Amino acid sequence: MELPPENDCCSICHDEFTLPCQANCSHWFCAQCILRVWHHGSALQPCKCPICRRFITLLVPADGLRRQQQGTEDSQTIENIEKYNRIFGGGSRSLIQRLQDLPFFIRRLFREIMDPQRTLPLVFRARMIFAMVLSALYVLSPVDILPEAFLGIVGFLDDLLILLIVFLHLAAIYRSVLLYRHGGA
């Protein structure tokens, strides 16, 4: 989602969203609220989502938030979000974290690809198309590491592994695009 759901509220302050931010676990919070959660814990590690307890390694402000349109307090909060992203947005800590983040990034990526108003960098689009074409050729080709004709359903494991690797690669690239856009570079 580009904006938090209507009739929803921040799960920390239980009030309407002010400067909404979406975490990499797909939950929405007020920017100031999630920063307070981070400041309450260790400053050396990312905070955990108050809802699902996963580490928040990336905070994406809602579309439409612009530093020029905000007051001084709001611009300071956005700068703090950018600082948080610079510190913890370098990447997921483990394969499990990456797998948990995969639906969030893939959903946002495909929504952004379908939206004609959004523009992704040309290099990113080229890498994405190349990876998807190569993986589709491998999955559809009769040449396999584990042939389906001999191994049955087990033969599909290499195809699934290739698709998983491609999706993880696309999510990592898209994560770096989001990080660059929202102050992590």
pLDDT tens digits for range 68-102: 445 667 888 888 888 888 888 776 667 887 888 88
Whole-angstrom Cα distance, residue 62 to residue 29? 10
How does pLDDT run across 25-37, given as a tens digit for each residue? 989 999 999 999 9
Where in 13-98 does DSSP place strands (E)? Answer: 20-23, 28-30, 59-61
pLDDT tens readout for residues 167-181: 888 888 888 877 777
Task: Tell me the backbone φ, ψ of residue 154, rounded to 5 degrees.
Answer: -65, -30
Instruction: Please tell me the CATH superfamily of domain 1-89, with its number.
Output: Zinc/RING finger domain, C3HC4 (zinc finger) (3.30.40.10)
pLDDT of residue 92: 60
Read off the tokens for 29: 């919070």
The residue extents of the domains of the chain are 1-89, 92-185
CA–CA separation, 168 and 105 (whole Å): 9
Percent of the chain with pLDDT over 70: 83
Q: Residue 156 has what DSSP assignment?
A: G
pLDDT confidence bin for 67, thresholds 50/70/90: very low
Mean pLDDT of 143-154: 70
Q: Does the predicted model carry a pTM greater than 0.85?
A: no
Looking at every residue in the chain, the average pLDDT score rounds to: 79
Read off the pLDDT band of 66 (50, 70, 90). Answer: very low
Assess contact for 93 and 54: CB atoms under 8 A.
no
Tokens read off for 122: 């040309």
